[in-house]
Amino acid sequence: MDNVDRKADGSSPASQSRATVATTAKEPKPGFQQPFAREDAHKLLSRAKLEALLEEVAPGERLDDDVVALLQEHIEDFVESALDYACRLAKHRKSRTIEARDVQLYLQKAWCQRVPGYGVEERVRRRSEVPAHVKRMAEARKQRNIYASSR
């Protein structure tokens, strides 16, 4: 009645594979780190680094604790969204590594920022003007000038 192969201990291969999946789902995969914790936000850009940046821009100014917390939260959200977008792009390319072009595309699309030195510099190639078009445009300009001077 039961066509499942049984091992010496009486368990079936299917039940054993389910048990393996259940136990390995809880363990982190090798090469991957634990998800970023909110408590680690200050590690991205510490208060000292924020104050050093402020000193470059506005010497003598100080940062309030609430401002530091807000900036660190904003930095964390920015990095998280950039990495999420870059991971999705890498997955779309069927790659397991994030490349600079993935982050660059996020910066271009979400923040309208270009990062010089990364990616392909596309040269804008201007089309040569067709003589017939130039002639038509000159005639139209001439007619417009004649009409404007007759008013």
Cβ atoms of residues 73 and 41 within 8 Å = yes
Write the pLDDT tens digit of every residue in 74-84: 999 999 999 99
Residue 134 backbone dihedrals phi, psi, to 5 degrees: -60, -40
Could you give the CA distance from residue 43 to residue 49 in angstroms, rounded to a whole number? Answer: 10
Could you give the CA distance from residue 103 to residue 98 in angstroms, rounded to a whole number? Answer: 8
Cβ atoms of residues 100 and 94 within 8 Å = no
Could you give the CA distance from residue 150 to residue 148 in angstroms, rounded to a whole number? Answer: 6
Could you give the CA distance from residue 48 to residue 43 in angstroms, rounded to a whole number? Answer: 11
The pTM (predicted TM-score) of the whole model is 0.53
Write the pLDDT tens digit of every residue in 22-42: 434 445 455 555 555 556 656
List of domains in the chain:
40-118 (1.10.20.10)
Question: How many residues in total does the chain contain?
Answer: 151
